Amino acid sequence: MIIKVCGITNQRDASAAIDAGATAIGFNFYGKSPRCVHADIATAISTPGALRVGVFVNEVPERIEEIARLASLDVAQLHGDEAACDYPRELTVWKAARVSAGFDISRYATTPAQAILLDGPAAELYGGAGVTFDWMLARNSRLRIIVAGGLDASNVAQAIALAAPWGIDSCSRIEASPGIKDHIKMTDFLHAAKAALRS
């Protein structure tokens, strides 16, 4: 299972996340996000043994591929209005979808993305809003589902039990401030996730 910590902006947080069990580290390249990092900063952050995931919003494929090369990304996580024809060709894609009233997961049945990341409603924001959704929407899907939005140590076990996802992702609920992780909250989240997977 993918256990991802997103919104990483510095080496200290990345190292602490990996030490506590994160298998994927997310870097946000969306300019309007308070967690945005430049490619050169992400490049300098070491993440041994973990997938390197870049978060993008309505970015052109050529720019995504350029940043991916610079920052040694493994995955592009696309949070905008991208259609399949907008996906970068040389990179694995996780397509993010906001779950709000009337959400229908079947619209992604033929997606070429490796996984669908389901996030809570966030108004005009793109990721990092810390809002949960009905995790049962993800259960029994034939798609690889990553559950995000409002996860922390208090609810990740329930999310895993209800959604049976391919991956989980946390960001804002384990922060001290936007872009800076609270290491106690982050470690508690990761340990709770690993414990839920063992049970």
Domains of the chain listed by start with CATH number: 2-198 (3.20.20.70)
Q: How many residues belong to the chain?
A: 199
Q: Which of 19, 74, 119, 152 is catalytic?
A: 119
- 22-45 pLDDT, tens digit per residue, is 999 999 999 999 999 999 999 999
Q: Mean of the pLDDT values across residues 176-194?
A: 97
pLDDT at 100 over 70: yes
In three-state secondary structure terms, 1 is coil
Structure tokens that stand for 186 in this block: 């982050």
Q: Is residue 119 annotated as part of the catalytic site, yes or no?
A: yes
Q: 52: number of CA atoms within 13 Å, CB side?
A: 20
Q: Mean of the pLDDT values across residues 75-92?
A: 94
Position 171 confidence tier, pLDDT thresholds 50, 70, 90: very high
* Contact predicate 136/159, CB 8 Å: no
Report the phi/psi class of residue 85: left, alpha or beta, with left for phi > 0 and alpha for psi in -120 to 50.
alpha
Q: Which of 6, 13, 169, 171 is catalytic?
A: 6
DSSP string, 63-81: HHHHHHHHHT-SEEEE-SS
- How much is the pLDDT for 58? 95
Burial class (CB in 10 A: 0-12, 13-18, 19+), 137: middle
Q: Determine the Cα–Cα distance for residues 199 and 195; give it in Å rounded to an integer.
A: 6
pTM of the model: 0.94
- 110-169 pLDDT, tens digit per residue, is 999 999 999 987 645 555 557 888 899 888 789 999 999 999 999 999 999 999 999 999
Report the phi/psi class of residue 127: left, alpha or beta, with left for phi > 0 and alpha for psi in -120 to 50.
left
In one-letter notation, the amino acid at residue 159 is: A
